[in-house]
């Protein structure tokens, strides 16, 4: 498992900066560095001036405080397991692709975070593990030396820096270290000092000397008695050590798991913060410019005689939120920044837009325009009556042809077709289309489904112009009483399928609504959520399966039922052909 390394070192003097450059450019002897391995400059070129000159050029002529930070040195790397996963202990080795991926990701992070304030970056390959030295001139948004603005003096800022770099390389499989860990790095001098400390090994000089008259067996017994207590202590210590190592590994795994969960939660929080920022930006864009700011730019001044009053240029204007009223001369009221500019400057819309853009920039101007457009649209929606659906005009001269199509070619029960026609739910238009009216669940006509009937292979179907696709449906009910509650709903693709399914389902055991909806988008969800039995009975094909899948996502109680034929009308016709004609006629009666 590989972890990120991201450290910074503040450089406060030119001498300290020169010493750091001597180290990173290898212009002075560096212990543990291989002199036969070349390092790589990632940002900058070999022909660049010295580091002090680069930093001075970036700082410019501004006055430098005595305690100012001139530059910040970054050290970016990852644990050895990333660069050489097969043999982490092999110092100086690395996988070329992994190295290039890391160098690219780190460089992209430096440039995206700090831009041209990074004046140099070196990739070091001559030590045990590849790492990057980068130099930042800590300029704030105003171009002033201000290290505190970038990194502050708190652990929180430094922790955010670690988080940012970890996100930049996480796609490489490198993880952030445990947040808040107290782990420290052992200095090289301390490491070697630990190696040479006296150990508590058994001193063989303490063994008893053999006696002249003593046999080997007797001497062996004496040595055992001398060493046995020490061996027992060592065995106990080894057992304790093994147990502690096991506990340590278990604790490490638990800690790593907890850290992963924390990082996931932190990432989600970061995403939520970004989403909230976007919502705030959007909300700000939808707000009009504050009329007080517009009045100020127009040359008006607050009137001390009244609250929210502005005067000047012959105007006495009272402002309340996005409304204004002028009490002087020809009294007039209005709303919004654009109206106020047009009123005070006595100009047209185009000139008002140009003036707002000049004074508040394009973003401010667009805010004003967006607000005005929204206000006008809301007013229009209140004043303009909603369009009413006008059903196709019935043509009784075409009805017999449509009826013949439905009862013979589609083999729908003739009594049912006649009943639907009498209820004016099915009729013919002038083009000999079968018109199936669509209604809201309250019975209001909202649209119509058209099915062509002219010719043997007529495939025309669609909605009548003006139909409200998701506000009404063709449906038929079946139940013992009109007052019975609907306990079962069957969803189907078309009106002909709905009537066909009802015939195949006849008589249903509970009050059932057979409703057509050609998409999950058009479902009356609030109504259907209360229905205990819901059947998605769509065509026996991939399109039917997809609609049923979408419905089940919205309404988990739904079940999928397929016809054996390609659709329910084909299944009805096949069943009719298998029954004796006389039996079929008796059923229709």
User: Domain 396-588 classified CATH 3.40.1360.10?
Assistant: yes
pLDDT number for residue 204: 65
Report the distance separating Cα 209 and Cα 189, nearest Å.
41
Q: Which residue has the tokens 């009483």?
A: 481
pLDDT number for residue 342: 93
pLDDT number for residue 306: 79
Q: DSSP secondary structure string, 359-417?
A: HHHHHHHHHHHHHHHHHHHHHHHHHSPPPPP-PPPP-GGGHHHHHHIIIIIS---HHHH
Q: What is the pLDDT along the chain (589 residues), one digit of tens a residue?
A: 788 889 899 999 999 999 999 989 888 887 778 888 889 999 998 889 999 999 999 999 999 988 899 999 999 999 888 999 888 878 888 999 999 999 999 999 999 999 999 999 999 998 888 999 999 999 988 889 999 888 876 677 888 898 899 999 999 999 886 565 544 444 434 433 443 444 445 666 667 788 888 888 888 888 887 777 667 667 766 776 777 777 777 777 777 777 778 778 888 888 887 777 776 666 666 678 899 999 999 999 998 887 889 999 889 999 998 899 998 877 788 889 999 999 999 999 999 999 999 998 988 898 899 888 888 888 888 888 888 899 999 999 999 999 999 999 999 999 999 999 999 999 999 999 999 999 999 999 999 999 999 987 788 999 999 999 899 999 999 986 767 889 999 999 999 999 999 999 999 999 999 999 999 999 999 999 999 999 999 999 999 999 999 999 999 999 999 999 999 999 999 998 887 554 444 444 3
- DSSP character at residue 178: P
Tokens of 92: 């100086």
174 touches 109 (CB < 8 A)? no
Tokens of 522: 């058009």
Checking DSSP bridges between strand 131-136 and strand 301-302, what pairing results, if any? unpaired
pLDDT number for residue 203: 62
Q: DSSP secondary structure string, 186-213?
A: PPHHHHHHHHTSPP----GGGSPPPPTT
2-177: CATH topology: BirA Bifunctional Protein; domain 2 (3.30.930)
pLDDT number for residue 188: 37
pLDDT number for residue 193: 45
Cα 150 to Cα 162, 169, 273: the distances in Å are 13, 21, 20
Cα 74 to Cα 24, 83, 133, 152, 521: the distances in Å are 11, 19, 6, 16, 54
474 touches 508 (CB < 8 A)? no
Tokens of 135: 């130099």
Distance, CA of 433 to chain centre: 48
pLDDT number for residue 192: 39
Closest by alpha carbon to 368, among 386, 345, 342?
Answer: 342
């Amino acid at each position: 498992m590989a972890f990120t390394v991201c450290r910074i070192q503040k450089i406060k003097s030119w001498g300290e900066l020169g010493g750091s450059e001597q180290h990173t450019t290898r212009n002075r002897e560096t212990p543990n560095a291989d002199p036969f391995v070349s390092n790589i400059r990632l940002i900058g070129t070999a022909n660049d001036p010295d580091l002090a000159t680069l930093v001075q050029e970036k700082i410019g002529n501004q006055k430098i405080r005595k305690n100012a930070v001139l530059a910040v040195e970054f050290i970016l790397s990852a644990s050895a397991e990333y660069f050489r996963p097969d043999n982490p202990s092999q110092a100086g080795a690395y996988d070329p692709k992994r190295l290039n991926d890391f160098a690219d990701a780190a460089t992209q992070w430096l440039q995206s975070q700090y831009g041209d304030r990074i004046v140099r970056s070196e990739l070091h390959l001559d030590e045990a593990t590849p790492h990057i030295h980068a130099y930042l001139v800590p300029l704030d948004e105003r171009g002033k030396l201000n290290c505190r603005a970038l990194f502050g003096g708190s652990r929180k800022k430094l922790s955010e820096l670690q988080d940012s770099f970890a996100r930049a390389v996480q796609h490489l499989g490198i993880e952030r270290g445990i947040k808040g860990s107290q782990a420290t790095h052992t200095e090289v001098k301390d490491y070697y000092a630990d190696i040479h400390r006296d150990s508590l090994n058994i001193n063989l000089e303490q063994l008893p000397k053999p006696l002249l008259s003593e046999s080997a067996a007797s001497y062996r017994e004496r040595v055992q008695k001398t060493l046995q207590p020490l061996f027992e202590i060592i065995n106990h210590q080894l057992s304790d050590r093994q147990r502690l190592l096991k506990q340590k590994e278990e604790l490490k795994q638990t800690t790593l798991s907890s850290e992963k969960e924390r990082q996931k939660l932190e990432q989600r929080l970061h995403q939520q913060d970004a989403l909230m920022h976007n919502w705030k930006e959007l909300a700000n864009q939808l707000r009009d410019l504050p009329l007080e700011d517009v009045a100020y730019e127009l040359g008006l001044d607050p009137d001390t005689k009244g609250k929210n009053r502005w005067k000047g240029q012959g105007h006495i204007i009272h402002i309340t939120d996005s409304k204004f009223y002028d009490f002087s001369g020809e009294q007039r009221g209005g709303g919004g920044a654009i109206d106020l500019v047009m009123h005070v400057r006595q100009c047209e819309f185009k000139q008002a837009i140009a003036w707002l853009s000049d004074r508040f920039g394009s973003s401010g101007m667009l805010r004003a325009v967006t607000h005005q457009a929204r206000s006008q649209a809301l007013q229009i929606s209140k004043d303009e009556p909603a369009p009413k659906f006008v059903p196709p005009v019935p043509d009784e001269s075409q009805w017999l042809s449509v009826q013949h199509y439905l009862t013979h070619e589609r083999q729908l029960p003739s009594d049912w077709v006649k009943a639907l026609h009498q209820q004016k739910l099915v009729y013919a238009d002038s083009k000999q289309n079968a018109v199936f009216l669509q209604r809201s669940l309250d019975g209001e006509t909202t649209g119509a489904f058209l099915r062509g009937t002219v010719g043997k292979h007529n495939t025309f179907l669609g909605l009548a112009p003006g139909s409200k696709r998701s506000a009404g449906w063709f449906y038929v009910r079946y139940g013992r009483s009109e007052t019975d509650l609907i306990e079962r709903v069957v969803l189907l693709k078309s009106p002909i399928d709905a009537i066909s399914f009802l015939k195949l389902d006849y008589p249903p055991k509970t009050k059932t609504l057979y409703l057509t909806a050609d998409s999950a988008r058009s479902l009356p969800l609030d109504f259907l959520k209360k229905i205990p039995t819901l059947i998605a009975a769509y065509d026996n094909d991939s399109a039917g399966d997809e609609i049923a899948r979408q419905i089940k996502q919205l309404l988990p109680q739904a079940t999928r039922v397929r016809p054996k034929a390609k659709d329910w009308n084909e299944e009805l016709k096949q069943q009719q052909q298998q029954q004796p004609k006389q039996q079929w006629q008796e059923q229709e009666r």
